[in-house]
Amino acid sequence: MAGRPVCVYMLEKKPEIVVAVDGCGGDRGSKHIVNAVNFALTLYPYMRLIICGPVSLQEELNHGRIDGKRVEFRLSGQAIPQDAPVNEVLERYQKSSMRLALQAVQSGEAQAMVSAGGTGPLVVLARHLLGEIGHLRPALVARIPAGPGRHALMLDLGANAQSTAQDLADFARLGDAAARLMLGLESPRLALLNVGTEEQKGSHVVLEAKSLLDNARELNFCGFIEADRIFRGDADVVVADGFAGNIALKAAEGVYTIFSKVPGIKRVFARLAHPDWLMPWQYNGSVLLGVNGNVIKSHANAGDDAFAVAMVEAAKAAELDLANGMRDILTHAGA
Amino acid sequence: MAGRPVCVYMLEKKPEIVVAVDGCGGDRGSKHIVNAVNFALTLYPYMRLIICGPVSLQEELNHGRIDGKRVEFRLSGQAIPQDAPVNEVLERYQKSSMRLALQAVQSGEAQAMVSAGGTGPLVVLARHLLGEIGHLRPALVARIPAGPGRHALMLDLGANAQSTAQDLADFARLGDAAARLMLGLESPRLALLNVGTEEQKGSHVVLEAKSLLDNARELNFCGFIEADRIFRGDADVVVADGFAGNIALKAAEGVYTIFSKVPGIKRVFARLAHPDWLMPWQYNGSVLLGVNGNVIKSHANAGDDAFAVAMVEAAKAAELDLANGMRDILTHAGA
């Protein structure tokens, strides 16, 4: 599955997938969402969308020549600010578009949801409405490039502001199950992100997590990995705390962007073997693992293409029946 | 100073600088060190080297057509392993090449030293032999690219395995003084590396450090910066804990390396406006700030070119009289 280009979805007959979209999150407004919806519906012809958002979005959708049979609109004028305090999220935003989209998953009307809203609110609401799998701490995972046509997974990408050694060990278990399902691997190679590969190097948390994982015989844990190797395919799952994971990916994205803006480079890359497998917009949409439902987080500032890719990621998670598959694997493993 | 290409040092008349070199650290052996020495002496004609290392290195130097007037050799067969436990470093490695090179700075024979040995041992020995400036926690700083012909500074790059909020505030003070001296700025813009720029986002440590820095009126503190902006010149000094800082730079380096290995790309870049200001080997050699002497850490796996650049960084630190300048600024500021 992973590794094939997005357009493959146009060639295969698939069962219909319903994805709920939080139409309030994100920095770019209604017009951007309409463009993204159009693009996503083209990329994935077997997807229907339930879009939750304000009147302005409804009007844009009406003007946007969207196929009415494939889009249902649900009105919600309430947006949750990106940085809403966690303790207010449950009480104060009962009618928010994010909550509405999650409720569509909870009720079974949608098989997945996607939001470009704040990570904090999304994680709190998803845990509350959908419940957790076992006793594992939920984490955001994303496919990352690992060579031409190859992917790895990386987590946590920011579901948790700080992590203990036990949290990192939880992320490894989540990542292991996710790699079996998302990458089709039988025994995914797990590695822990660190500042060196020597036994004694790193923070206390990372060193303690390593000793927990060294003792987890059921996992294929291969030790530490440094940040310059994460895109090399040295590991199938890169485990990091949400702070370091986020910083590694954003730093990589920053360099990619600088390269891609060199004048004339796109033309040149088109002729050469352009490493387009690195292209960040292909990788928008991280999955919140460890909750009973397929929840996808998009970058808040994702462009039209990237937000559409996040919707497709949601459809792919639904198609894999990811959350249920995770629960089966992890319950079997006694998480 | 920063921003000029390395070769400018061949055109200016400068006072002679003596740099001590730890000839044991690093992963690449004696032949590599001899190549690097030759390259460094060419790059910086006003540098003399005191090279501390084993007999095998002495023999390689004798065979390597090195200008004998510009190199003095000091024999030390003892190497400190990269991951030597901190508590053993002071007791057990009294005759090590790293210690010998630091002692050359301590005695005033050399104005700077460079080592590709382990960061832990280097920091412990440097603090012990040279002493600290004020009550600030020492940190590794490096110039990072911030656009064509522009640089910023980033610290800590791994002198500390974990950091408190107060440590981060210390790093900001060290970075501020260093940017005045190394970048020639009057009021360097400081930013704290975080996973978002919103007020409430991030780890407890980062949020607490921000509130300490918001109250430090003598500093030009501009708030948070995300990892995808660190090479954009948005800040003159990027402050991070050693774990996150190391991971950000290595992730960036990883992406750069992938791009630079695309077949044919070098030829193409030579014709285009190649963003060679990003090139990692140009940036080898981070300075240990906060000790009374100019101590430069090279990557352990630096190639010949990169290790030579670290020697030139040492010479530049000496030329700036960096450690003394730092002490003057920070003592004046009451650190």
Check pLDDT > 70 for residue A143: yes
**Measured distance CA(A87)–CA(A192) in Å, rounded:** 31
pLDDT digits (tens, 9 = 90+) for A203-257: 999 999 999 999 999 999 999 999 999 999 999 999 999 999 999 999 988 888 7
Give the separation between CA B20 and CA B310, rounded to whole angstroms. 12
> Which of A41-45, A271-275, B277-281, B300-304 has maximum average pLDDT?
A41-45
pLDDT in tens, chain B (335 residues): 344 344 444 555 667 999 999 998 766 788 889 999 999 999 888 999 999 999 999 999 998 888 888 999 999 989 998 878 888 999 999 999 999 999 999 999 999 999 999 999 999 999 999 999 988 999 999 999 888 778 999 999 989 988 999 999 999 999 999 999 999 999 999 999 999 888 778 899 999 999 999 999 999 999 999 999 999 999 999 999 999 999 999 998 888 877 777 665 555 555 544 555 566 656 788 999 999 999 999 988 778 888 999 999 999 999 999 999 999 999 987 65
Interface of B with A in 10-69 (CB under 8 A): none
Please, are residues A173 and A209 in contact by the beta-carbon 8 Å criterion?
Answer: no
A73 pLDDT above the threshold of 60: yes
CB atoms < 10 A from the CB of A271, how many? 9
- Cβ–Cβ under 8 Å, residues A301 and A28: yes
Burial (CB < 10 A; 0-12, 13-18, 19+), residue A303, is middle
- Tell me which DSSP letter residue A219 carries: S
Closest CA to B125 of B152, B101, B142: B101
pTM: 0.86
DSSP codes joined into one string, A154-171: EE-SSS-SS--HHHHHHH
B244 vs A198, A247, A272: nearest CB = A247
pLDDT at B8: 44
Average pLDDT (A112-124) is: 94
Contacts (Cβ under 8 Å, ≥6 apart) of B208: B165
Asked whether the beta carbons of residue B272 and residue A249 sit closer than 8 angstroms, the reply is: no
Interface residue B232 vs chain A (CB under 8 A):
yes
Question: Which of chain B's residues have a Cβ under 8 Å away from the Cβ of A206?
Answer: 243
- What pLDDT is recorded for position A299? 86
**C-beta separation of A283 from A145 below 8 A:** yes
In this complex, is the C-beta atom of A203 within 8 Å of any C-beta atom belonging to chain B?
A: yes
Task: Test B231 with A256 for CB contact under 8 angstroms.
Answer: no
- The reported pLDDT for the residue numbered A217 is 93
Over residues A279-320, the pLDDT tens digits come to 665 678 899 999 999 999 998 877 888 899 999 999 999 999
Q: Which of B254, B255, B272 sits opposite A265 (nearest CB)?
A: B272
Q: Which pLDDT score is estimated for B4?
A: 38
> Rounded to whole angstroms, how far apart are CA atoms A234 and A8?
27
Burial, B198: exposed, middle or buried (Cβ in 10 Å; 0-12, 13-18, 19+)? middle
Interface of B with A in 96-115 (CB under 8 A): none
pLDDT tens string A3-23: 434 444 455 566 799 999 999
Chain B contact for A161, CB < 8 A? Answer: yes
Q: Which chain B residue's Cα is nearest to A119?
A: B201
Query: What ipTM does the predicted assembly reach?
Result: 0.82
